[in-house]
Chains A and B, each alone.
Chain A
Amino acid sequence: MKKAQIQMGETIAVLFVFFILVTVGFIFYVKVIKGNIELESEELSQLKSVAIAQRAMFLPELQCSEDNIAIDNCIDILKLDSAQALMRENEVYYYDLLEFSDISISQIYPSEAKWNVYSRKTDEFKSKFVTNAPISLYDPITRKHGFGVLTIETFLK
């Protein structure tokens, strides 16, 4: 084999190794970018679930009020039945607000009870978050507060 042929062989070997390195680097770069996109998507899903939970916690259809002043962290149990019917009748409006989610209220004290306020579930979800918020359940007839938990399940595609 002549010297020139050997040098050509060397150059081809070096180029081969170089392209392998470039390919490995590119694959790694794509993996990192994909990981970052997944990470951002996870963060966005979390923020979306928090936004839906907050919307549910401050729904005027459920919130207690006194002299037209809304009371935070409190649900009027007399409003619950009307709210359930209202949400069923205006499904599209509430879908814009609460998307695919399931909202229920469980009373723990003084007695146990459960209300399902809104339910629109999907089987094709990518992530599901469950948020539990302790909430005061106000009975305007007796003017007494009970203890309950607002459970918001969000299904995100």
Chain B
Amino acid sequence: MRKAQMEILGLAIVVVLILVATIFVVRFMVIKSPTEYRKGFISAELASNMLSTFLKTASKDCSYLTMTELLQDCAQTRSIICDNGLDSCKYAESTASKIFDGTFDKWNMKYEFLAYTDASQPLIKIGKACTAEKRSKLFPIPINIATMYAKLDICG
């Protein structure tokens, strides 16, 4: 083998080494990111717990009716008038707002809460629709004429 050929071989080895090093760098520095176990757990639990807890909550000024009962009346006859003068829809909405103020707003979380029989005309709407990733929980509530739904989306 001539000297020139040896030098070219040396250069080729250097190039191969640089390539291997680059692949190594990309493999370890760029691709790997920490797995967010906690975030997954929290977002999975939060939407479900929040909605189920809210629906079980007894009202303060509405003969201790639960939010589920108030939402059922809201979707049907709207015959319940609470002690503070609000009807079932307004009362459930104000209670939900109060609870979300003390939770999601305090934790700087974006959310949207909807109660509806027809999704295009919600009876109650609190918060803003998520524009990107979201965790969603839907609770069906039985009523006489059909089924109504309480839906909570947590953004991010």
Chain A residue nearest in CB terms to B51: A134
A133 within 8 A of B: yes
The verdict on A32 contacting B28 (CB below 8 Å), with A109-B60, A146-B57 known, is: yes
Give every chain B residue within 8 A of A39 (Cβ-Cβ). 32, 34
Q: How many chain A residues touch the partner (CB < 8 A)?
A: 32
Give every chain A residue within 8 A of B25 (Cβ-Cβ). 28
Contact A145 B57, beta carbon cutoff 8 Å:
yes
Q: Give the contacting residue for A50; candidates B37, B58, B107; CB below 8 A.
A: B37
Contact B53 A73, beta carbon cutoff 8 Å:
yes
Interface readout for B20-43 with A: 1 if CB under 8 Å, 0 if not? 010011001100101111100110
A46 within 8 A of B: yes
Contact B64 A144, beta carbon cutoff 8 Å:
yes
Bound form: Cα–Cα A149–B46 in Å: 11
Contact B41 A50, beta carbon cutoff 8 Å:
yes
Contact A149 B42, beta carbon cutoff 8 Å:
no
Contact B95 A43, beta carbon cutoff 8 Å:
no
Total of A-B residue pairs, C-beta within 8 Å: 79
The verdict on A147 contacting B45 (CB below 8 Å), with A46-B36, A50-B38 known, is: no
Contact B38 A49, beta carbon cutoff 8 Å:
yes
Q: How many chain B residues touch the partner (CB < 8 A)?
A: 34
B98 within 8 A of A: yes
Tell me the chain A residues, 100-157 only, with Cβ under 8 Å from chain B: 108-111, 129, 131-136, 142, 144-147, 149
The verdict on A46 contacting B46 (CB below 8 Å), with A108-B99, A142-B64, A147-B54 known, is: no
Chain A residue nearest in CB terms to B36: A46
Interface readout for B41-85 with A: 1 if CB under 8 Å, 0 if not? 110011001101110111110001010000000000000000000
Chain B residue nearest in CB terms to A29: B24
Closest Cβ of chain A: how far from B59's Cβ, in Å?
A: 8
Chain B residue nearest in CB terms to A109: B99
The verdict on A147 contacting B53 (CB below 8 Å), with A35-B28, A109-B98 known, is: yes
Closest Cβ of chain A: how far from B8's Cβ, in Å?
A: 16
Give every chain B residue within 8 A of A145 (Cβ-Cβ). 53, 56-58, 66
19 A-B contacts (beta carbon < 8 Å): A35-B28, A36-B28, A39-B34, A46-B36, A108-B102, A109-B57, A109-B60, A109-B98, A109-B102, A110-B59, A111-B60, A131-B38, A132-B103, A133-B45, A133-B49, A135-B49, A147-B53, A147-B57, A149-B103
Chain B positions within 8 Å of A, measured between CB atoms, are 17, 21, 24-25, 28-29, 32, 34-38, 41-42, 45-46, 49-50, 52-54, 56-60, 64, 66, 95, 98-99, 102-103, 107
Shortest Cβ-Cβ A-B pairs, 5 listed = A144-B58, A110-B60, A108-B102, A46-B38, A134-B50
